[in-house]
Structure 1
Amino acid sequence: MRRKSLSTGDLARYCQVTPATIVNWIRAGKLDVYTTPGGQYRMELPKFIAFLEDNEFPIPEELQADRTRKILIVDDEEEILDLLVEVVEGSDANYIVRSEKNGYDALIAIGDFKPDIVSIDLNMPKMDGAELVRRLRSNPETKNAKILIVTGMIPTSDLVRKVKRIGVDSFMQKPIDIDEYAKALDKLATFKV
């Protein structure tokens, strides 16, 4: 079973720095650690992964294996939204899923949910998918989220071209093949940050 916390030596090895550098980062408040009764520093694994992501370090494969991925699904069509949520919840992968019916509510949800992957319909009320993608990519906290576009629009439409220019990681055409949708999510979940 994998450890839930890491020593300064572990932290140094994963960051490819010296243990002295880790201690300096701890003293500077850059690493959120606790001290054992013996005076040794330890860092909880989820906090360390968040530190790596925030500082754009690559996340080692061995630390990603059991990592829970958060997926936000945004679609204004309730039947499709329910279907996509069901696909994620039925997956064997370690996912937490949340859903929203429009881009505006999705932005609010992103603030506290902090998804790793966002599945977005392009044609929605209040805020279309292109604007949501633009805002995700322009925010330092969400710029690295993986984005899967799911749309009924034809791939040559202006909106689709605009979104592709902004930067999405995957694109699917409706009607949705649920097996392909699950594969696309699994592929995005294994991308290195």
Structure 2
Amino acid sequence: MRLSQNFGSDEDALVERVYTTREAAKLLDVSLRTVQLWVEGGALSAWRTPGGHRRISAASIDAMLSARGNAKVSAAPRARVIGVLIVEDDKTLCRLYEATISSWGIPVRIEIAQDGFDALIRLGQGKPDIIIADINLPGMDGVTMLQKIRANPDYNDVEIIVVTGLDSEQIQRRGGLPEGVSTFLKPAPFALIQARIQEIADRKLHVAAAAS
């Protein structure tokens, strides 16, 4: 699906097609706030008109649709399956997270994002139950990413665990983490992570049983 098409005269062809935030949200099948997050994170190319209105490049929407394979992903995890988003650029550690978490016998759906921009995109595609994130990330760092996530009330119920090599003083120098974020020094505290994921699984099971 290509959105950037040229119509009319050669002069028209030189003008890049753009979309409003609302049009972009409809094309990408996400909320307005998700589009705003993607723009703020740099995942979508945009600028403001003299009147202060956002205009989003059709080319950047084309690129995102292509990357997503035009798939429309549910905004919520399936009942009883725990959505886990791991934001970590160390591929070896990512494999360790996947192997360890998958071995616990808890129904999970694990997604990996290796930078803050990718994490925001994945959040727009489907809200996880828990985010496990590093702070030292390429591009958008973990502090900025988590501040943007916590600024969106849609993600208030997402549990966030930070696993980092930075101490509290170093984190504060980067701007500090939002409230409600649990922070641990590396190596990853797998026993604690398992307990948190199991608690979420038990809670979802209880809700599903009550609804049946």
TM-score greater than 0.5 by the shorter chain? yes
TM-fit CA distance, 1:190: 5.3
Matched, 1:75 2:88: yes
Q: Quote how far apart the aligned CAs of 1:103 are.
A: 0.8
* 2:137 aligned partner: 124
- 5+ long unaligned stretches in structure 1: 1-49, 51-65
1:182 aligns with 2:194: yes
Task: State how far apart, in whole Å, the 2-side matches of 1:189 and 1:127 are.
Answer: 30
Q: Is the 8 A contact 2:162 2:182 kept in 1?
A: yes
> What is the letter of the counterpart of residue 100 of structure 2?
V
Instruction: Give me the TM-score of the superposition, normalised by structure 2.
Output: 0.53
Query: SS at the partner of 1:70?
Result: strand
Equivalent AA in structure 2 for residue 130 of structure 1: V
Q: Structure 1 residues 187 and 159, CA, compared in 2 at 3 Å: closer, same or farther?
A: farther
Q: Specify every segment of 5 or more residues in structure 2 that has no aligned partner in the other structure, as ranges.
A: 1-75, 208-212
Match of 1:162 in 2: 176
Cα distance in structure 1, aligned partners of 2:175 and 2:117:
22
Note the alpha carbon deviations across 1:22-80, whole angstroms, 9 max, x for none.
Answer: xxxxxxxxxxxxxxxxxxxxxxxxxxxx7xxxxxxxxxxxxxxx722111000011111
TM-score (norm: length of structure 1): 0.58
1:99 aligned residue: 112
Q: 1:189 to 1:151 in 2, by over 3 A?
A: farther
Distance apart, 1:181 and its partner CA: 3.2
**Root-mean-square deviation (CA), in Å?**
2.7
Give the percent of matched residue pairs that are identical in Structure 1 and Structure 2.
Answer: 28
- C-alpha distance in 2 between matches for 1:152 and 1:168: 19
1:153 to 166, 175, 180: 166
Q: Which residue matches 2:121?
A: 108
Q: CA separation in 2, counterparts of 1:169 and 1:187?
A: 17
Q: Secondary structure of the residue that 1:162 maps to in structure 2? A: coil
* Partner SS state of residue 133, structure 1: helix
- Spell out, residue by residue over 1:105-157, the C-alpha distance to the aligned partner (whole angstroms, 9 max, x if none): 01001111211111110110111111111111111322221101110111332
The offset of 1:161, in angstroms, is 7.2
